[in-house]
Every structure is written in C-alpha cells, then in structure tokens.
Chains A and B, each alone.
Chain A
Amino acid sequence: MTIPQPLDQPGRRADWWRAIWPAVLTFTLGIGLWEGVVGFFALPLYLLPAPSQILLTFLAQPGYLLSIGAVTFGNAFAGCVLGCGLGVLTAIICVRWPIIAEGLVPLAVAASAVPIIALSPLMSLWLGSISPASKIAVVAVMTFFPTLVSVYKGLISPRADALQLMHSYAAAQRAIFLKLRVPAALPFFFNALRVCTTLSMIGAVVAEFFGGPQNALGVYIKSQAGVLRTREAWSAILVACLYGLAFYVVVVLIERVVMPWNKHR
C-alpha cells in the first residue's frame, strides 16, 4: 500500500529561486567577507588579492586567459575521452572474460589509490615536455582507473534473478549486455564521468607544472606565482575553475538527457 507523497509542483520560477537563494547568499557573503578581510587587514598583494582585483585582472585580458585556458582544457578533454573510453572498453573486456577481471580489477582499485600526478615528470621525459601528448597521457591514466572500476561495478550489478529472466527468454549474450548490463551501468558510468571532469582539468593544469608550452594555463600560473604576481595567478585559477565547472555542467546535462529516469536532487 503506497502513501502518496507530498509534491510541490506549482510555480517553477519560485521553486528555482527557492533552490538557489542560499547559494547566492553565501556567494555574496563569502565574496564580501574575502574583500573585507583583504581590505581591513590590508593584506599584502602577494599573500591574497581581493576578489575585485582578481576580476579586474581577468577583465584586463579575458581573451588571452580564456585562450590559454582552452589549450589546457583541450588536453584535459582529450585525456578524459581517452582515459574514460579505454576504461569502459577494459571494463567490457573484464565482464566478457571474468578471469581477466579477477586479476585486473583489484589492481585497478589499488591504482586508484596511487597519486598519478607523480607520473607527470616521467611522461614529460617520454613524450616531450612541450608536446600536449604528455599532458593528455597523464589525464588519461588519471581517469582510466576510476572509470574502469566504476563501470565494471555497474556492468556486474544486475542481480542473479534479472540475469535468469534474460536467460529464460533465451537472450543472446549480446542482448543481455545491451538490454540489461548497459542500462544498469549507466548511472555508474556517469558518476565516474562527473568525477573525471574535474579530475581531468586539475590533472591537465598540474601536468603543465612539470613543463609545457608557454601558452598554457598551468605554465602561466606557475610563472606568475613564482614571481609573486598573485593577481595574475589567481585570475588564471579562476579561468581553470570556469573550464572545470563548465565541463562538469555539460556532463550533468548530458546525463539528464541520456537517463531521464534517473532524477537527480
């Protein structure tokens, strides 16, 4: 016997505002506090610039900052596609041949605990510190393992009775895979993908700290911070966050389209 749950439907506009006002409020308060603390204690610029200064620095050369951000984001995106793609592929192989999974999945779990950024200098030595390949490789390795573990978990998540039902329809392996395992794995895949978006942008920036072309975000932040031009460094960090957030939001939107049944809070 089901009890109807109270739903609040009417007034989507008002709902929307009710959902975001606390976030807007804390944003305003937070920025105000930051601005106030910097102004009140007259913090030196090298320590922490005020948000207004960061914004002004950004607005002084938005085109340039966004363009070097795009270079870094390109690496992040390529690495993420490569890493997640290979992760999904490997997960499928693991489901098809369980003996491989038994050996590989525990190692992948362990590898998720490894600080992959430590590979950056090695990748630079192998693939060239200026070339994008070394950055893409770091991001790909970073995103590969979480995707593999998560998608594998998703693919094996259908319970025995669901599998037996498919079996009773005399469904072919391929049909079981497409009609049962893939839909079951989708939420797991998107969970991993969301984590990977932010991970890949951070990974790309970090990888550039070990060397990269002059027109890349990580290199720019490092060189500016190195000479204590913190305003410039922070405005570049802002750009990195913007790209990271945008990537995240796009993935969330795709998720909503692909899995309309899986409503998120």
Chain B
Amino acid sequence: MSIVPIIEFDRVSKIYPSGSGPITALHEVSLRIAAGEFIALIGPSGCGKTTLMRLIGDLEQPSAGTVRVKAKSPDQARRDRDYGIVFQSPVLYAWRTICKNVELPLELMGYPRQQRHERAMSLLRLVGLGDFSQAYPHQLSGGMQQRAAIARALSFAPSILLMDEPFGALDEITRERLQLELLSIWAESDPRPTVIFVTHSIPEAVFLADRVVVLSPRPGRVQRIIEVNLPRPRAFETREDPRFFTLLTEVRECLRAMEG
C-alpha cells in the first residue's frame, strides 16, 4: 500500500510468563493499516488476535518490536484520546443511565454538560436507542446494551475503533442487524474511523472488512491477508452475492490449512 499507515506493527512479539514456561502469544508480527480502513482479525482461539488489538490500544506492551499509531507511541495515542473501545461484554456502569453511560468519556474529557448531553442523545438516536436514554443498563436486552456501548465508543469521535468480538455474545439475528448498523454508522462518520474488529466468525469478518487478517495459532503470526473486494455500501443482499461465498471459502480454507 502506498498510503501512509495509521497503525504500523514492526516485528512485534508478545510473550507471557506462565507457570509452565513462557507462552508466545504473538511472534514477529508486521502489519500496516491505512487510515479509514476496516480490518477484521480472525483466527482460532488463542491465536493472539485480542492481544494484537490490546497492543494497539496500549492495554498491553509488546515484548519485542514496535507499534506505531499515527506515527506516535500507542501510549501517546491513548493520551490523545484516539481510541474508542468496544468489548465483548458491554461494560456499562450499572449506576448510570444509558445516556450518562454514553456521556462518560465526554465527562472525563471535560466537555460542558449541555454539549455532552446533546452529543450523547444524537448518538443514541443513531443506534436506535433514543427512547431509552433514561433507562438503566439492566433494563435493556443484550443487543441494546451493546448498541449503547458502541454509541459510547463513538461519542468522542475517536479516529480508531477497537472492537473485541463485540457481537460475540449476541444471537445470530441481532448480530446480522448490528453488523449492518455498524457499517452504516461507520460509512456516515466523517472522517471515517479506522476499525480493528476482532472476531471468530468467518461471515462476520468477510461481510464487514476491507481486509481480513488471518492469524495462525500459537505462536500467533499473520498467516494471510485477504482483500475483500465486495462493493460498498454493503447490504443484506451482499451475503447472497457469489463473491461473498468465494471469499468465505477462501478464509475457511486458509484457517483449515493451518490445522493440518
């Protein structure tokens, strides 16, 4: 790629000490991600895809090699509030209303009350939760909670969205609907955030991403990067496109090849 990368991995390794000797979660991973790209990280469990995401977000430090984000260290990028994170569980604060939860990052960043309320409300409407702004998290279904978590991640318009299996705990129907919603929110954002989306679902990876990064099991390495040349905007019909199936097969074969 000729574009200047927004995220750059240069021979990054991550080794965890453990009772039965050190475990190499990632081994010499090199990867460049362009601004505004939608990247899906896929691989069998324990391949280090979450670790890779956490390295970008400065939630872990590499054992060797360097990670650069917007030509800065991940630590600096974090301090500059470049990251919006969505975990598999919504991690909403039980003592705050949905609206207050979405306001949380804005509150920490010192936005005035009026402005953060308006911003939170407009995001809640965007994710279809406009009527539930005053509800408490426990009053919402799992899918609604996860939408609130996405609204929270978007609230301060971060340039990078880190998503760790955000739809992993949802049922298939909700999941496919949220995938579509995520894509439309992403497409409408200006500028478009760069998305790092960790998943273990092959259709999800192919449907969402510009490029699917396939990681090998321990030690985690970049096995292959598959370009997804499906047209955007993607719609419900995209899943019925023959090219979609070809790509599915390609990713599946790649994952299977590693098992043998």
Contacts and interface: CB of A to CB of B under 8 A. Distances in A.
Task: Indicate whether A and B are direct neighbours in the complex (CB within 8 Å).
Answer: yes
Nearest to B22: A4
Nearest to B23: A4
A23 interface: no
B46 to A, nearest CB: 6
Contacts, number: 26
A5 B22 CA distance: 11
B19 A1 contact: no
Interface string A1-23: 11111111100000000000000
A3 B46 CA distance: 8
Contacts of A4: 16, 18, 23, 25
Nearest to A8: B17
B19 A3 contact: no
A261 to B, nearest CB: 17
A7 B18 CA distance: 5
A3 B55 CA distance: 13
B46 A1 contact: yes
Contacts of A5: 16, 18
A3 B49 contact: no
B16 A6 contact: yes
A3 B17 contact: no
Instruction: Give the most central of A1, A5, A6, A8: most B CB within 10 Å.
Output: A1
B74 to A, nearest CB: 17
B201 to A, nearest CB: 13
Interface in A65-117: none
A3 B18 contact: no
A203 to B, nearest CB: 38
A6 B50 CA distance: 16
B45 interface: yes
Contacts of B18: 4-7
Given A1-B49, A1-B50, A2-B46, A7 B25 contact: no
A85 B151 CA distance: 53
A7 B46 CA distance: 18
Contact of A6 (B17, B46, B51, B200): B17
Contacts of A2: 45-46
A9 B45 contact: no
Interface in B134-163: none
Contacts of B45: 1-2
B190 to A, nearest CB: 33
A3 B53 CA distance: 12
Contacts of B17: 6-8
A8 to B, nearest CB: 8
Contacts of A3: 16, 25, 50-51
Contacts of A7: 17-19
Interface string B17-51: 11100010100000000000000000001100111
A8 B18 CA distance: 7
Nearest to A9: B19
B26 to A, nearest CB: 11
Nearest to A6: B17
Nearest to B60: A3
A210 B50 CA distance: 65
A1 B169 CA distance: 13
Contacts of B200: 1
A6 B19 CA distance: 8
Contacts of A9: 19
B57 to A, nearest CB: 13
Instruction: Give the most central of A3, A7, A8, A9: most B CB within 10 Å.
Output: A3
B171 to A, nearest CB: 17
Nearest to A7: B19
A211 B25 CA distance: 68
A2 B51 CA distance: 10
A1 B18 CA distance: 16
A121 B19 CA distance: 57
Given A1-B165, A6-B17, 14 more contacts: A1-B45, A1-B50, A1-B200, A2-B45, A3-B25, A3-B50, A3-B51, A4-B23, A5-B18, A6-B16, A6-B18, A7-B19, A8-B17, A9-B19
Interface of A: 1-9
Q: List 5 tightest A-B contacts by C-beta distance, closest first.
A: A7-B19, A4-B16, A4-B18, A6-B17, A9-B19
Interface of B: 16-19, 23, 25, 45-46, 49-51, 165, 200
20 contacts: A1-B46, A1-B49, A1-B50, A1-B165, A1-B200, A2-B45, A2-B46, A3-B25, A3-B51, A4-B16, A4-B25, A5-B16, A5-B18, A6-B16, A6-B17, A6-B18, A7-B17, A7-B18, A7-B19, A9-B19
